[in-house]
Structures are given as C-alpha cells and as structure tokens.
Amino acid sequence: MGSSVNLNQIGTLMQRQDVQYHKDAIADLLKRNSTNFPGAQPVSFARKHLLELQKNDYFLCEKTDGIRCLLYLTQIFQGAQDPIEAQFLIDRKNDYYYIAQGYLHIPQVNKRGNDPPFDIHSFHNGTLLDGELVRQRFPDGREQLTYLIFDCMLLCGENITEKRYDSRIGSLKQFVFEPWKAFARAWPDEAKVQPFQLGLKEWQVSYVADFMFDQIIPKLPHGNDGLIFTCKSTPYVTGTDQHILKWKPPHENTVDFRLQLGAFPKFKDGMGNTQEDYDQKPEMELLVFHGGNNYKHFAPLFVTQVEWTAMKGMGQKLDWRIIECYRDNTTGQWRPKIEPDGTPRFRDDKQHANHYTVVESVIESIEDGVTEQDLFASKDKIRSAWKEREKRAREMRTARPSS
C-alpha cells in the first residue's frame, strides 16, 4: 500500500544545496547540532513491553501502511515581495519535496475569535509535523491521498519536543488540524485541489486492543500492518525512541535489509566457454547497517522462481537497494515481502537498511511472539494500572491547597 505513494508526483525533489537553509533552520529550532533526518523511530514490541504498558500510560493507534515523512510549513521569499507560504515533505532519506505554490494552504487559528476558527490570510511558519502519507480507498470507489498526522515537533517557530506527547497532540489538534478542517469545510473547492488532504491519527487508551481489531482496523480505508503504542508523558526523541512501541503479528514483523546480488549460475555456450546465465536466480545476500557506510552480511535471501521472474520484469536495478523482508516461521528463511503485483517491496524512501540493533529488536519481537491474544489477556491488568494512576492523580489534585 505504501509503495503506491510516489513523492515525486506530489512535490518537486529539491537539490540538496537549495534546501540547506531550511535544514539549518530546522536544526536551529530543534536545538540540534545535526541536519540529518530528525524523526523518531519506534522499537519492535517484545514481551517485556506488556509490563511497560502496566507501568506507564500509552496511547494506542493503528499502524498505517504508508510512506513516513515530515511536513515542514515555512515561508520563502521571491525577490523583494512579501514572504509567501511554502511547504516541504521530508522523507527518511532527508530529501525535501517542494509543494507547488498555491496548492496547499494550512491557515493558523483565528486569534481574534472563533468565527471563523481560522485566519484565511495567515499561514504557518516554522511548524514541523510528523505523519504518514497514505492512499485511501473508500466503499463508494473514491480515492484520496491523505497525510495522517501523529505528532508535532515545531509549532510556529516554537520547539515543543520537550513537552509531553498528550500536550503535543493537543496543540497539534487545536492550532493545526482544527483550523485546516474548518478551512476545508468553508472552502471545499480550494481544499479539493490540494495535493493531499490532512487527517489526524485517532488515539485510544492502551487497553482497548480488542476494540482496535474488532471495530477500527476492519473499517480503515487504507492499509494497516499493526499497532503503535506511544507513551503519553514522554518528550519527542530523534532517532530510536524506546517509548514508541511497534506491534505486528509475529509472522509479519519485517526488517529492511540492503540487497546484494552475488554470482549468477554458469553454463557453457556453444563454443565451450563458461558464461553467467543472467536469466537465472543469482546468489542474494542480505546486509545490515552498522553505522557510517559499514554494512555486514546477515543472511541469504530466498526467492522463488516466480518471484525472481517478477523482479526481472521490473526492468530496474536490483543490486544494493533496500528490500523489506520477513522470516518464514516454518523454514526460518528470510523472504521478501511481496506487493499485490507480485514484486518485492523495495524501500527506496530509506537511505540505509535497518541498523543491526533494530534487527536484533525485531528478532526479539519475532521470537517472543506476542500475539493478539496476549494483548487481549493483558487488557485487565493494563486497565487497572491506568485507572489506579488516574485515581492517584485526582487525589493529589484534591489534596493540593488552593491559592
């Protein structure tokens, strides 16, 4: 599903030297020394995390099968004119895609009152959102590209990464999503021609996994490949965040490897010379990332003859691309995740394969094998612990002397 979204069809890929100013601006606002991709990454859900859900409050949402990217709302100058609204999508390779001027308008909240709740003449400058682009398909046959937002790092130049998650999503809803939604209702023709619509991830409490599987996921208009648990009280963390938990069914946990093609089978031609047969399956090795430009062998990749034929039929370079794989629970072999058209899922949106520590986390998740039933069985304990924390918080507020 995620591969059906092509960022080149939404925006213009900018040359790196042309966006260095914006990279520096984001780094300065976030108080970072690096201009690398600033997004957070989850860890795979393991059995130990069932206890973590009892210890701390987590929000729960479905894991969308789309393209992860940041949305940077800013301004640019053209000559001596006043600044104009500008937006960039930023993928995990830290590439910037400029959205053509005039096609996307995200107004600020109306600071003079609630009628209307947005200021049509305003726009965001210095706002950085985290979300996922996904193609949604509805029962009436309608299709829609939607940017589903699940976090906010910068808000009109203010760094809010140190705030709690529940505070960040509260600000996101009040100052970004609700004004845009009101604008889209008031100006439907303008909203309709935007390159994508905005959506807000729907969060639940952490003890309703059964509700998610029974009521939410079956009705989604887009692909889903698991659940995400996010701690409600922790700050935003660039890189691996131990408090964002990615759950997938054990047999669907995947790793993004670097694919390396090896030797092809050999044959003797009519002259008796040994040749490589490029129509046959070559040796295929999966490599994991060890930092810098260092990759190390992890395991061979097993593909069927039908899959290899589909790979050849793509007419694309295969060697050294990022490929998403799963471990077959019967044979233990690593296999490519296959798209509906029969081709492997290549992760060209990523600059590097998974780091070896991420691979170790995924394997731990696979071997722990936390199932839907395990989540259901932990529901009462998680709920009781949540309610007890709520009770203690109420008692502390009641006991606090009034000023």
| Cβ 386 vs Cβ 232: under 8 Å | no
Q: β-pairing, 224-231 with 58-64?
A: antiparallel
- Show the 3-state SS of 22-34: HHHHHHHHCCCCC
C-alpha–C-alpha distance, residues 335 and 303, integer Å: 6
> Which residues is 67 bridged to in the sheet?
133
Question: Which residue blocks in 139-297 are alpha helix, DSSP H?
Answer: 165-172, 178-186, 188-192, 209-211
User: What is the phi/psi pair of residue 33, to 5°?
Assistant: -90, -5
**Cβ contacts of 387 within 8 Å, gap of 6 or more:** none
d(CA 287, CA 298) in angstroms, rounded, equals: 5
CB 300 within 8 A of CB 284: yes
Answer whether 5's CB lies under 8 Å from 133's CB: yes
* Sign of the torsion formed by the C-alpha atoms of 4, 8, 9 and 14: positive
| Strands of 125-223, DSSP E | 127-137, 143-155, 158-159, 197-200, 204-205
Instruction: Give the strands of the sheet with 295-300, arranged side by side.
Output: 295-300, 284-289, 254-261, 322-327, 334-336
In angstroms, rounded to a whole number, what is the distance separating the alpha carbons of residues 71 and 34? 18
What are the catalytic residues?
63
- 302: closest CA among 332, 270, 339? 332
Q: How many CA atoms within 13 Å lie on the side-chain side of 318?
A: 23
Locate tokens 């053509």: which residue? Answer: 100
Q: Which two tokens stand for residue 299?
A: 């395991």
N- to C-terminal Cα separation, the chain: 55
How crowded is residue 278: how many other Cβ atoms within 10 Å of its Cβ? 9
